[in-house]
Amino acid sequence: MADIRWFGRNDYEHLIIPDLVRLGLDVAVDGDDTAALAVALNHDLAPEVWQYSQRHRVPFVSYVWDLPPSRLGDGLHDPVIPIGGRLLTLPRLSGRRYATRRGYYSRLRFVADRARAVWTPSASSAVDVSRHFGRVPTVVQYCYNSALFTAACARDRPRRVIAARDLRLLSVSRLVPPKNHEAVVRAAARLGARVELIGRGPSQAGLQALAERLGVPLRVRTGLPGAAVVAAYQQASVVVCPSRYEGLGLTGIEAAVCGTPVVASDIAPHREFLGDAPHYFTLDDDDSLVTAIEAARLADAPPTAHFATLTIAAAARRFYDELSALL
């Protein structure tokens, strides 16, 4: 019997598994054999992990990355009842409901409430989980892809002074309203800069229309291999992380490791993970954003020593210690 049945959906969510195995854990990533403990590292898979735990009568860990304010607002969860191994969400009859994706986050809450442990990547997410789900989680930080983003990325980045007319702004994340990419396009219009976005999402058409209206050259790319993403970071003048909230906030870490100046919204998760690496700006203050970009354009490479605690190896050790305590 495996120690851990790990539920993830992509390479990023499996990054630490080889190190967990080297540390001595037997980890299964597929199949339905019984394991001593299940781990849900993806929100979408939380109901599947709960079903697995019910079938095999084993405990599980729910990893809650973040609870977006735009999704939950000040609402309450809908009732969730298990029927035939499935989770059925019933509309709340009284009181304000979650703002959007009501059934999704209601089921996530149901699963978290029945988990042996609830973990989050940041103190900010822990506060939100306590508030909305009524569980006090443990902060167990995950990692960035330190096998891809290495010290060599910064050494290979061209060292040059960026003239204002050559300013290239990059942002890497999903194209959704809470990521606040519109602010980057507006700032680029004032600075005469180009913008590159790497990601996909429903905001793409609106962002392209805004850029055309403001006369901003905008390129959107998606599905890039890792080496191409590294190259994009290296070629950017400034990487902008304008999010209204984050669970972890990988973009600023990856950019800094590549030696590229970073500008980030002044939100708690960015302060928690990025430290003094970025030039911070105040949300909804375009003057503040433009000032931060101008300062970053002339700055040296960001400090990165504090990211040593966010490598794959460091995260694997944290997860190993926490998982071992539950086995």
Q: What is the mean pLDDT of each run of 10 residues along the chain (327 residues)?
A: 96 97 98 97 96 97 94 92 91 88 95 97 95 95 97 83 77 95 98 96 97 97 95 96 92 96 95 95 97 93 94 98 97
With contact defined as beta carbons under 8 Å apart, do 300 and 277 qualify? no
Residue 302: the pLDDT is 94
Q: How far is CA 300 from CA 146, 232, 239, 265, 290, in A?
A: 22, 18, 13, 19, 18
Angle at 85 between CA 17 and CA 11, to 5 degrees: 20
Q: Which fold has domain 151-307?
A: Rossmann fold (3.40.50)
* Token couple for 125: 């997410």
* Token couple for 26: 């037997």
Q: Which CATH number fits domain 2-143+311-326: 3.40.50, 2.50.20, 3.30.160, 3.40.1710?
A: 3.40.50
What's the distance, CA 130 to chain centroid? 19
Decide whether 2-143+311-326 matches 151-307 in CATH topology: yes
Domain borders along the chain are 2-143+311-326, 151-307
Angle at 167 between CA 165 and CA 171, to 5 degrees: 155
How far apart are the C-alpha atoms of 36 and 270, rounded to whole Å? 35
Considering the entire predicted model, what is its pTM?
Answer: 0.93
Angle at 142 between CA 75 and CA 110, to 5 degrees: 35
How far apart are the C-alpha atoms of 26 and 195, rounded to whole Å? 45
Side-chain half-sphere exposure of 319, counting CA atoms within 13 A: 36
* Token couple for 200: 């996909």
How far apart are the C-alpha atoms of 319 and 230, rounded to whole Å? 27
How far apart are the C-alpha atoms of 218 and 211, rounded to whole Å? 6
